[in-house]
Each structure stands twice: as structure tokens, then as C-alpha cells.
Structure 1
């Protein structure tokens, strides 16, 4: 009896060991096949092991593991993808199109770093859907799309079906970190999917990138599992990365089980960068997936930290775009669009043409000068390409095919929406409609800007709904949104009770949006997200901003004369002041909250700091934030205006020499903490 009891007692341990052993084997085979492209067992043997594991897990549910290889087949249904704020913002890259652009970029970074000793990594730029993967203690915990860079959609269930993404790492690299890459659809898989669609009489997919992106938002993860998606990783974000360079970090990522492409090279000079670009400009056509350029990054992580970011992009990286695809087609008509600020943009309406995997019917003509310079006329055969591979534009005319009865284009003189005579200020390339508060398109565009994700982020309302509300006389400005009633919305075309409820709930929730976003939303010209944040942090509330003088405004960090004049002009208009007062009455956040001000002081007001080296107490971003939270300013390079240099380990010798020659105090991070206290 005792022997029997011991056997029964030990049996689950043996089963658990067997399950774990099978999981490890399958992960290894999965890695060999999908990442290394080097299968070590046949598909049949793999399937037998997988079925064995499935059977053991079904019989022993107490050992369930969401990261088991058996869970990659999907099956989870996601009705609504949760919007998640990125812990670390996903910036976009600056683009370059020539060697001169890259040389200018190199000059800028060397000037900031004050050294000639800079090396670069070159990687191919993959054309897919950007993804941010988060790992904790070696386990995948979330996957979020890029979205607008600040927040994206959580698609973890769908991402887990992609077999080249490790659910559990071979070893714990850091306690937690993020790794970024592109979800792609290789040409072979894309073509096979289209063959299957054509066989059943369905329309084929347009291009691999859009199909990969759309796959991430399918509600049934088992459907995602059927698609031959792949994931190429290229960047790790971690607070205390033990590696010294970007290249070493990617090598480590490859060891951990990530699919890091082999087309990466460390270049010690811009000449070597050019060689890499020239090689891949030809070899890229042999790749099994789409690529549209080369990403050049400063290799040293310490130098990356020192260079930091602009409002939109990392200073330490730039994308070189391969020459864009170009096609010719006939220009049928020129129409004119009115923007939110009244700017007029001429648009070419074209005979549909396939360009870079999409059907193009419309392209930008930019402005009157561009039309005149290229002598673009209706009926012309024009050359079209995608600017930065995104926005189609007309770049030339095939004069040999010009019709004999062709007439030069006469640019419009009056607004196409309200018939107001257009104006063009000296030095401005665009014409404008000055009827700011009477032109229907300008009115609806301002409301659309107000509700957008980066501004008030109001769910349940789109551009078409705004057009409908305006047409029916329910809104004339963005403040009117807060007076809408459910019973007014339900009778409208394509509206139902649920839609009306969602709209009212979204409007109500927007009253919690912080002041800096409200300031961006109200649409002061030249006040983008970053400027709105600067103004909000400086003035604390809308009333203080309204009372600011020109001299006050230009003394705010990064606020120039153009922005200052625009702010003053906005508050000189009675209607704008009335709208702001109404927003106050409705309960919108028109001052910084106590919570956002917690821990902030003016101790360092007027002081300019330069941060250089590697730190032990702070990471560089936290140190910069601390300076700004306490009223100081962080500069990227040393000048006579610099008050202090906070130096960590490995401070650049040229920076040290310059600081000493200008007699600028050099302090440690410990000295800085004492300064705050």
C-alpha cells in the first residue's frame, strides 16, 4: 500500500516534467524552423510531438500554460481591441533621400556630441506593421500596435499565433524590457493567400503591408494563426541595458530567440554607410519580403542617450529611402481642398494606376507655384510617385503626349466652399481662404481636429458624423458638442440609439482630458502637441495664457515670434474667447491638475543644464525629466548660456574641454540631488 501511494503521489511530478520537456523541445524546433530557417525534425515528427503535448495538457489541466506551443493555434475572440498607452513613446524616423541628407544629419549629430568618433549600424527598413512587444522575467506579456506613437491597440492574442515570436525566452535578459519590430507578410505567403482568394471568387488583397496590418485586427485569433505572418525585430528599449552598443543588443536579442535579420552592419564612416546602401539598393529585390530603405543609427547607446529626441523623431537615427516607384497616368481634373487653417491644396484626379502595391486615384499638386513650374494641365499624361512611399504626388509631365488643344491651368481665385476671395501672403507658398469662421470646411475641419485622438480623443464620432451634425444645424463649433442630446442624434441618417449613446458617453469622458491636450485641441495655429505642452506647463491655466504679452510668450522655452503672434491673434477674436468660456462652463480641464503638478517645483527656474555621460542613480531620460519638472531647461550642447553640466561616467573629452574653457561648473548626479534638496 505504501509503495502504491508513493507511485500515485509521484505520478503528477513525472507528468509535469514530461509536459515541460515536450514544451522545451517544441520551442527549440519552432525556433530552428521559423527563426533560423533550419529544421532539425520533419513536419510529421513535429506534429506528433505537438499532438502528444495537447493530449497530456488536456488530461492534466492543472499544468495549463498560456505560453505553451499548443496555444499558438489561436481561438481567442477579441471584439474590441483595448487602447493602451505606450510606456515608452514609439517615435517616427526622419527620412532622407540623398547622400547630402545623410551628410547633413552626420554634421548635426557630431556637433551635438562634439566628437568625430561616431560609428553607425545600418539595417534594412522593413515595410510592415510596427509592433511593440513587452517581456517580463523572460515571458511575453503584451503586444501593442504603434498607433499614433503615444498609444496603440493591444493585439496580444493575435501576436501569440506568430511562430517566429518567442512566448518564453531562452534566458531572462532583463527583468523587463520592450522590443520593437515589424509584422510582415512574405511574398510567397501573400501570393498563396491571393491564389486561394481568387479560387473562391474573392477579390485579391492589394499588398503585403496592408494585409499584415489588417491581420493584427482580426477578431478571431485562430484566423490570424492561418496567415503566414512573420516578425522581424530591430530595437530593444530598456532602462539599464548592460550592452554598450545597438549592434551588441541586437546580437543578444538573436541569442534570446528573436528573429533579428542578418542584414545588419556596423559602419565606421559615412562612406561605409553609402556602400551598404548601394549594395542593398540592388540586393533588396532578392529578399522574400518588402523593404523600402535603410535605417542608419548611431551605434553607441551612450551617444544615443546624449542625442535624445526631437518632438517627433530620435536624433540618433535616420531612414534613407530608396528611389520611389514611379508610374504615368492621365490627369482628368484638378480640384481644390480647403484645410483646417484655410490653406488651399490643389489635387490631381487621375486615371487609376497601380503604384507601390496600391491603386492611386488622387495625388497632391502642392500649390500654385508647383503647377506653374511643371506646367501641369488637365489632360496631361503625368508622372506620379509616392512621396516617402506614403502620399502620392505628381512629379512631372510627359510633354510628348500633351493633347493639341491643351490649355494652361488657371489657379482658382475664390474658395471652392464659400466663394470668398483667396489671399496669399508674401513669402507663403499657399493660398488661403480668409473666411475662418464662415467657411463650412474650415468649421468642420476644426471640429474634426478637436475630437481627434491626439486632442480630445472622443470615441463614437468620426469625420462623417461631424459633417452630418453640421449639415443638420446641430453643431457650428466644437463647444456645441457639449450641448448635444441623445434625442437630437437618434433621428439622424445612419444613427441608432446605441450610436447616439456612445457619442454622448465619449463627449462626457472627454471632460477628463488634461489641459495640454485641450489646448492643442482648440486649434491655435502653429500650436502643435509639443508647443501646447510647453505653454500648459509654463502658464498652468488658460486665463494666464490669455493675459500673456508678446514679450512673455517669446521668453517661454522654444516659443518663437511666429507662435507668440499666433497665440495673441487667437485670443484677440471674441468668438474664440466665448468658446473657451463655454468649454470652462462644461467642465473641461483648462488648467493643470494637482496630480500633474505633484512633485514639480520652480527650484531650477532659469537654469540651463547639459547632461553628459552614463549615470548610475538616474537613467538619462529620468534625469532630463527631473530637471524640467523642477523648472530647469535641458540643452543638447554646451554654450556660454549653460549654467551646469551634470556629468556621468565616460563624459566626452571634447565636452569636458569646452566646459573647462567656458568655466561652466561640472556637477555629479549626487550634487544635482543635493541642489534639489
Structure 2
């Protein structure tokens, strides 16, 4: 290759790897397998070594991770959070072992630890109390996520009274167990939200949420494995792990002390198969020289320690035949392609289907009918097609063409700008959408109707007794028809009708969630109910009034406006009102503690350290003040916390509205 070609190749690889770093560390949405990323990184490192004149000073080979998000306070790490070099085979491990022996001789031990597939975290403890939690970030500085990390039960807020230093740092990995991931991801799918690809992404997305109350609802866990202090307290890493357990930290029990590389390889081989029996994901094994003095002697490269290495398991991958592509229509109208496969054993289970996500994925794979495909599970709960073996492609095989009409009702599919999924817009006439909406309405988080399950909804729809949500409240008029149906005994009919009647007492937020408005999950429904008080105010709200509500952004606001503009939806809401459902929250009586804020109007925006936004709202109202729904010339004060939306700030400045802190608000009363 010419010099220009080599330079161009380095530039392309650098840009590509920077983007992958950003996708992985910042967006928590990786678009490349770890193995493929490492191979590209290795290729770039080799090119830079041969042609240092073309190397980018900001090259991914010199950095640990991606950029720091702007949503949290940036904190510099006292001890840099370095990454580890990766290996994928036994020979590379043996080479690593030889380098160690050449440097320090044969008298040393290794500690082998499971490599958890989660989010790296640094915790600082002062006088036995958790003072700060910071993400890895770019390895030099990360995001302060202390408020969110405090919600994790396995992370001690205060330590047992034992002999620990006044100030120390401990490193670990925040993760989510697979069962919790499946449950929460299914809820996202039910709510019409984009599901996370794997538990690691869900854990990462959770840690970066603004509302710690929502974080607390998601079951995160954490294993700790690295102690950092100004003064060395122990001679070995193994001793420090034992001490951490005594101090009250959640240290994984599967670590092992190995006196040679053969024992290390035994440990790796054991966990290569046994990992599938764990309740959480691991993607490899971390191997460290045990003695701290020997670690110091071995030292560091620019981005990783020379005394430790990571052995990464290859995600289990099998080859099988694509039999066909079918399409599922969800409650929100999203049409998802699914690959039907020749059954094959993968990671201990027989796989017959694999997700194809959307039309873009079919194009990316260049999928053809009858293709031989590679299927991988790895960190994914649902198997996915990774690539195609084009050498086995039939000569006249036709490309898989994404359907243009709904497979259930024949309606022309639409794709909104900026979205990957195609949608069927016939929400009132498409059977899977109709049934899905009713099944969503009766579920536990919505109306929680006893005696009425998903199968019953399906049966009653097939019999013509249900077509809209409101028809559920007319079932008592069809008791004779119900009695003639199979598996509908008198007792089960009575229980069902009683459950339907009791559901009329469900609060407004549950009814709102049950309507199944796209992007309006249980939490968003609660925020909307608290802000707008009743369905009439919500249905008439303008775009500006909607985004003024807590945690309501552009996408949710537009979805609400679109929903309430539909005449069929308005008619349905009226029928539900007539049936006696709750479409307003019960206003609690406000007891005034003073009139110091009488005649003054406020909007609260951002995140506050000492108060929740609801607490500040109560304080304002209890002192005679009034909360407005949107910024206008009528507003007296904008109470601003951290991470307030830039649009609100700009509008307030434009109207010369005083912007005050929560402390200044408290000073007024």
C-alpha cells in the first residue's frame, strides 16, 4: 500500500473506533461485537506502530473509553480507571505468562476473577460512609452518579465498625440479573418503548437516569473487586478481597488463587460452560498478578497494567438455515421481523427463532432467502443473527424484502422520521393491535382486572363480544352468551364481572397508563396525572404546556397530541367516563403554613439535591404560591436545579423571568 492509502486506512479505523466507543460508553447501545472491536483496535495499533507519523494523538489505542456525558457533574478520578488488555485464546495467555516470568521470575501467583458484563464504577468512602460514586467515563474523569448508586441495596452506605482507612476508593461493576432484565424489558415492550439489547445496556441506561426514584425501582446489583488507598494496607490482592468482605462489601465468591498458568486455564475452561448457569452475565475472566510489590515492579503501559489481562469468551455462535421471515404486530402497531430457523442447539437451549429488529437490520445483513446464517446469544437474551455465510448462498436466492403492508390487516406500513421501525396506522381495525390494547388495559400495572386474562380477551374478541376497551364494561350485558361459551362457568363469570366492577375505582394514573398511548409508560402516566390533574386538561394541553411537565419531552408530547386529536379516542374516553372510571386525581386539601408566597407564581425545573420537585411544589403551595404549567409573562419565578432543559432556560431569560435556586426559594419563606 502507498503512504496515502495507509494514512487513509488509519483515519477510517480511528473514526470508526471512536464512534463505537461513543456508542458503547456514552449511549450504552453498542453496534459491534466485543471481539470484532478488539480485532479492529489491534489492526489500528499495528498500523500506528509501523507508521507513527500518521497516528492520531487522540487515537482510540491511547484511550480507555468514550466521552463523558453532559448530564452529570464531571469528577476527575484520584486513581485513573485503566482498561485491561484482551486475549481470546490460550496461546496469548501463555505469552502473557512468559512476559511476567521474564520480568519477575517464577515465584508468583495469579488471582482469577469473573469478568462481569456491567458498568464499571468507582466508590469513594470517607470515615466508613459512601461519599461519592463515579462512572469510568474516559478513564481519567467520569460522571458523579452518587444519588443513583445509593439506591443499590448491595452497596453499603455505611460500613461495619472494623479497621478500614479514613479515605479509600473501591472499584466494582454494576449489573442487572437476567431474570430482572427480562421482566423489565417485557414491560418496556408492553409500553411501546424500545427494549434494551441486553442486561448491561439496561444497567448502564438506569445508572444514567436523572430520577433516582425511578432508579430505585430497577433491581441493580454490584460486585466489588478493587481497593485503592494512599498507603498500601495489604501485601496481596487476595488479602484485600478478604478484607473487603469483612468490611461489608459484596465480593464475588467465585474468585480463585492460582499458582501457575495451567490452573488459570482450568479455571477459564470451567467457566466457559458454567457461566450459563449464573443468574448474571459474564464475558470472560480477569487474571491479575497477586502480590502488590510485583504489580509495582511490572508497571503500566499508557492505557493498561502489565500485571493483569482479560481473557474474553467468544459469544457462542452456531450456523443454521434461515427457513423464513415472519412479522409480528405489536400493541402500538410496530411491525417486528422474526427469523424462523432450522432448530439448532445454542448455549444450552434449542433455538428456532431469532430477532431481526427492523428493516435496517435486514439490509445490514444483506439477508437472502434460504441463507446459511450465524446465530449468537452471548449477552443477548433473545438470539440474534450476526452475519450470513455468503459462500453457501444459493445462486438464485432472492433478497429478503421487508413487507410494505401489515401482515394482519393489509394496511400500508409507515415509518416516522428518525425511527427504525415500520408501523401499521390502523390501530382501530388491526386485530393484533385491538387485542394487544385490551390485554395491556387489564394488566397488573394498569387496571389489574381479576378474573380477566390475556387468553380470555383473545376468546371474547374472536366471539365478537369485545372490540374496544370500553366494551369490557358492557360484558355484564352478555352474561347469557358468556354462559354458553366453553370454559366459562358461573363462578368464573361472576369473578370476572366483579373484577371489572372493582377496576372502576383504579386511580386516574392507572387508567391513563391503561389507555396504551405510545411512550406513556406507568411512570410517565403518573407524572402527567399529577401535573394536569384530569383528562380534560391533559387532552387540551398545548405542546408547550406538555413539555413543561416533569420528564415530558418532545416525543411524548407529540404522541399525546396525536392521540387526543383522534375522534375515535375521544369517543372511547367518553364511554369509559360514562362507565364510571376515574379520569381525575383526588385533590388533596392544602393546609397553608403561611401567606408569604401569596400572589406569586412558580415553575420548578431540574434536579435538586435536598428536595424532590414534588416536595418543592408542596412547599410553594403550602405558603400560598401557585404552580404554573408553562413559562409565560405571567410567571414570577423559575426555580432551577441542575440539568434544567435549555429551552426553558432560554425562554425564561427572553422574558426576563427571575431564575432562583431552591435555597433562594427557602429564603423567601
Q: Please give the TM-score of this superposition, normalised by the length of structure 2.
A: 0.51
Distance 2:338 2:419 in 1: 19
User: Which residue number corresponds to residue 576 of structure 1?
Assistant: 569
8 Å CA contact 2:178, 2:281 repeated in 1? no
1:554-590 Cα offsets, whole Å, 9 max, x none, are: 3334433333332222122221111111111222221
Matched residue SS, 1:418? coil
Larger deviation: 479-488 or 112-121? 112-121
Q: How does 1:12-51 map to 2 (within 5 A)?
A: none
**1:285 and 2:278 matched:** no
Q: 1:561 to 1:484 in 2, by over 3 A?
A: same
C-alpha displacement of 1:544: 0.7
C-alpha displacement of 1:475: 0.6
C-alpha displacement of 1:384: 1.6
Q: How does 1:433-512 map to 2 (within 5 A)?
A: 433-485=424-476, 486-512=479-505
1:458-482 Cα offsets, whole Å, 9 max, x none, are: 2333322221111101110111111
C-alpha displacement of 1:433: 2.1
Instruction: Give the counterpart of 2:329 among 316, 322, 338.
Output: 338
8 Å CA contact 2:639, 2:659 repeated in 1? no
**1:107 and 2:68 matched:** yes
Q: 1:327 to 1:637 in 2, by over 3 A?
A: same
C-alpha displacement of 1:388: 4.3
Distance 1:598 1:472 in 2: 53
Distance 1:504 1:382 in 2: 50
Q: 1:408 to 1:340 in 2, by over 3 A?
A: same
Q: How does 1:205-224 map to 2 (within 5 A)?
A: none
Q: 1:350 to 1:514 in 2, by over 3 A?
A: same
8 Å CA contact 1:513, 1:588 repeated in 2? yes
**1:410 and 2:404 matched:** no
1:321-374 Cα offsets, whole Å, 9 max, x none, are: 976432221111111111222222111111222223332211122223322332
Unaligned runs of 5+ in 2: 1-26, 38-59, 83-112, 119-159, 162-174, 180-198, 200-219, 225-240, 256-266, 285-311, 620-626, 628-637, 650-657
Q: 1:476 to 1:235 in 2, by over 3 A?
A: farther
Distance 1:494 1:403 in 2: 50
1:640-672 Cα offsets, whole Å, 9 max, x none, are: 9999xxxxxxxxxxxxxxxxxxx987776xx76
Q: How does 1:18-417 map to 2 (within 5 A)?
A: 107-108=68-69, 112-117=72-77, 125=116, 234=222, 254-255=245-246, 260-262=251-253, 284-285=271-272, 290=278, 291-293=280-282, 324-386=315-377, 388-417=379-408
Instruction: Give the counterpart of 1:605 among 578, 602, 606.
Output: 602
8 Å CA contact 1:470, 1:476 repeated in 2? yes
User: Which residue number corresponds to residue 133 of structure 1?
Assistant: none
User: Which residue number corresponds to residue 563 of structure 1?
Assistant: 556
8 Å CA contact 1:125, 1:292 repeated in 2? yes
Instruction: Give the counterpart of 1:536 among 512, 529, 536.
Output: 529
Q: 1:638 to 1:428 in 2, by over 3 A?
A: closer
Distance 2:364 2:521 in 1: 31
Q: 1:95 to 1:284 in 2, by over 3 A?
A: farther
Unaligned runs of 5+ in 1: 1-92, 128-169, 172-179, 185-208, 210-231, 237-249, 265-279, 296-320, 613-619, 644-662
Q: 1:362 to 1:599 in 2, by over 3 A?
A: farther
User: Which residue number corresponds to residue 69 of structure 1?
Assistant: none
Q: 1:474 to 1:182 in 2, by over 3 A?
A: same
User: Which residue number corresponds to residue 412 of structure 2?
Assistant: 421
Matched residue SS, 2:602? coil
8 Å CA contact 1:328, 1:383 repeated in 2? yes
Distance 2:381 2:426 in 1: 31
8 Å CA contact 2:223, 2:251 repeated in 1? no
Instruction: Give the counterpart of 1:523 among 510, 516, 523.
Output: 516
Distance 1:256 1:553 in 2: 48
C-alpha displacement of 1:639: 9.2
Distance 2:427 2:647 in 1: 41
Instruction: Give the counterpart of 1:594 among 587, 591, 607.
Output: 587
Distance 1:183 1:443 in 2: 31
C-alpha displacement of 1:286: 8.5
Matched residue SS, 2:608? strand
Distance 2:273 2:498 in 1: 52
Distance 1:593 1:492 in 2: 40
1:163-202 Cα offsets, whole Å, 9 max, x none, are: xxxxxxx99xxxxxxxx99799xxxxxxxxxxxxxxxxxx
1:67-107 Cα offsets, whole Å, 9 max, x none, are: xxxxxxxxxxxxxxxxxxxxxxxxxx96767699x967771
Distance 1:666 1:123 in 2: 46
Q: 1:259 to 1:371 in 2, by over 3 A?
A: closer
Q: 1:182 to 1:371 in 2, by over 3 A?
A: closer
Distance 1:475 1:639 in 2: 43
